[in-house]
Structures are given as structure tokens and as C-alpha cells.
Amino acid sequence: MAETAPARLRFALDTNVLIDLGEELPFAQRFLATHRNSGLAVSPTVVQELVHISQKKGNRAQPFALAALQNMRRWNITPYDLRAVGHGITDVSAQKLMRDGILEDGECNDGYIIIETALHCIPILISSDIHLLKINPSRLVRALNEFHLPPVTIYHPKSF
């Protein structure tokens, strides 16, 4: 069920990390400087969230989301997509993560990002989102195992 990722994709980045990079926050810049050639990737949901935020005038994050979209390739961050069936698996699995209490209700996009990361066989998701960082790692691994997906570990960029 999992899709095979190129060997070079080692880290998936969450939307907020891209916004942190667009804002040029020091911890995000340090992470990028250290890992820019380590296989950084973003899922379809992250790209969609960045586009949505970049179009919302008056949103504090709007200029940073736009900067992230404009600089993603320069930063050596590779967007990836899923096969069509992967999008259906993502939706069903993310809903189950919320039903099982692994994710808070209403955090469906966070679930999509986790599942898209697992489907693309990327072992590490980098996030500065408290909703993702407070997930119980062993519960997440068990849930992904139930979906027949490889494990994903979530870290804050400062952890690296």
C-alpha cells in the first residue's frame, strides 16, 4: 500500500515549518542550513495549505506562506504527490486518527499530512505545530501499523 519514495527523501516538512522558513525564523533557518541536502519534501496537503494561506489577505502568515511557495525549490524542498488511490486512503486514515483520539477533532489536515508522509515512505515529519508534536508516538506507530503503513516520527526543527 505504501508508495516507494526516492531514497533521498528523508524529511517531510509540515506547513508551519515552511511558514517559519518564509518568516526567516532562526531555528527554521538553522534546520534548513543543516539539512537542505538531506532530502526535504512536502506533501500535497502542505502545498494546498500554503496556497490557501498565501491568498488570504490580512492573514499574518500570508506573506510568509507566499515566500515559502516562491522559495521552496531554491531551498531544495521537493513537493510530491500521491497516486489517486493514495488520496482516498489518506482521507479514511486521517478520519480514523481523529476518531481514535490520536489527533484532536478538527485537525484533519494534520492527519492528511501524517498519512501522506507515511504513504510516501518518509520516516520523519518535521513540524512546529503543537497539535502534531503532542501526539503519542507509540499510539501513532500502532495506528499506522494498523493501516499497513510505515512508521512516521514527528520532531520539532529544534530537535535537529
What string of pLDDT tens digits covers the 160 residues of the chain?
A: 554 444 467 999 999 999 999 999 999 999 999 999 999 999 999 999 999 999 999 999 999 999 999 999 999 999 998 877 777 889 999 999 999 999 999 999 999 999 999 999 999 999 999 999 999 999 999 999 999 999 999 999 998 7
3: in domain: no
Q: How many domains does the chain have?
A: 1
Tell me the three cell numbers of residue 84: 489517486
139: in domain: yes
Residue 145: which CATH number? 3.40.50.1010
110: in domain: yes
| Rounded CA separation 16/110 (Å) | 11
Cβ 83 vs Cβ 3: under 8 Å:
yes
The pTM (predicted TM-score) of the whole model is 0.91
91: in domain: yes
105: in domain: yes
- Other C-beta atoms within 10 Å of 126: how many? 25
Q: Domain range for residue 44?
A: 11-159
* Residues sharing a CB contact under 8 Å with residue 115, sequence separation 6 or more, in sequence order: 89, 90, 93, 94, 97, 147, 149
Of the candidates 103, 83, 13, the residue with the CA atom closest to the CA atom of residue 49: 13
- E strands in 23-159: 40-42, 77-79, 124-126, 153-155
63: in domain: yes
